[in-house]
Amino acid sequence: MSDSPKPGVIFSGGAFHSAHFFDAVKQRLEDANVFDPVLVSAHPSLGNNSRGKTLWDDVEALRAQMTPYVDAGTEFIVVGHSYGGFPGFAATEGWTVEQRAAAGKKGGIRAVVFNAGPAPLVRGSTAVGVFVEGQQHEYPSFFEHGPQGEKGHLIHPARISKHSFYNDFDDNKAEELWNTLVPHSQEAIETPTNYLVTDVDLPYYYILNEQDETVPPELQQTVASAIPGCTVFKIDAGHTSFLSQPARFVEILQSIKEDAFAANRK
């Protein structure tokens, strides 16, 4: 990446978690001066006014944040936490460094990192499983949702999510964090995608949270093992490891940056 800007990183957040949840890890990355810029998704699917927003609205928002930097030549690592892995990965379609170079453009997405969540591995897959018209998904217990397939519903975090999201915090901090969660568009969670990790050759990484009680570690490992050529990093933390272990999270991202931009990756 000689004669190009410094690598950038963008976080594609999970359900219910707005941008402020990434403040600590964002500050550490900016202080380390490894990435420029350090961006956090502004997903339209989050918040009380998100009814009807889909995964594709989140994809367009991610791309809009990256566009001025990519057009100037910045190459990004996309980090998708939980649900955020779906729009984070979907944003790569036509946007990889190789694809943009073939179109005579600079910059692009260099690598994708999944953290504590699913990945699009099957045609018609969604953040809660495989979309089959007329059939019900099995929603996790930490979602309070409307009738499946109906338009205009919001998903809210169930009370059980205070523990499953923040089991590695004390009760007071867990309560504080839980109280700042926001609703999520149900249509975004149910949006099927046919663009899979097997469709594009990218460096893939998975940050596996070993104490996760939202997405069990064994399920995370199953997902990571199904992603072609995926490199796994483990972190002794719960579902929101970027919150509870920001220093270790930054160390892992620095290692990923070194690997993703290594000469033998070109």
Can you name the residues that pair with 109 across neighbouring β-strands? 76, 96
The conformation of residue 132, written as its DSSP 8-state character, comes to -
Between 23-32 and 246-260, two packed helices, what is the crossing angle to 10 degrees? 50
Q: Work out whether strand 8-12 and strand 38-40 pair parallel, antiparallel, or are unpaired.
A: parallel
Rounded CA gap, 74 and 223, in Å? 29
Q: Tell me what pLDDT residue 139 has.
A: 87
Q: Tell me what pLDDT residue 4 has.
A: 64
26-62 per-position pLDDT tens digit: 999 999 999 999 999 999 999 999 999 999 999 999 9
Closest CA to 61 of 72, 245, 47, 73: 47
Closest CA to 34 of 245, 236, 252, 243: 252
CATH of region 8-265, choose from 3.10.310.10, 3.40.50.620, 3.40.50.1820, 1.10.540.10:
3.40.50.1820
Rounded CA gap, 11 and 9, in Å? 7
Residues 228 and 196: beta-carbon distance below 8 Å: no
- The average pLDDT across 204-214 equals 97
User: Mean pLDDT across the chain, nearest whole number?
Assistant: 94
Residue type, 202: L
pLDDT band for position 1 (cuts 50, 70, 90):
very low
- The average pLDDT across 234-250 equals 97
Sheet strands side by side (includes 184-185)? 143-144, 154-157, 184-185
> Which residue is listed with tokens 């490894």?
34
Can you name the residues that pair with 202 across neighbouring β-strands? none
For the chain, the structural domain boundaries read 8-265
- The average pLDDT across 61-73 equals 98
pLDDT band for position 263 (cuts 50, 70, 90):
low
Residues 246 and 25: beta-carbon distance below 8 Å: yes
- The average pLDDT across 5-16 equals 96
- The average pLDDT across 157-174 equals 96
Peptide bond into 37 cis (omega under 30): yes
As a residue count, the chain comes to 266
Residue 102 corresponds to which tokens in the numbers above? 């073939």
Q: Work out whether strand 108-115 and strand 75-81 pair parallel, antiparallel, or are unpaired.
A: parallel
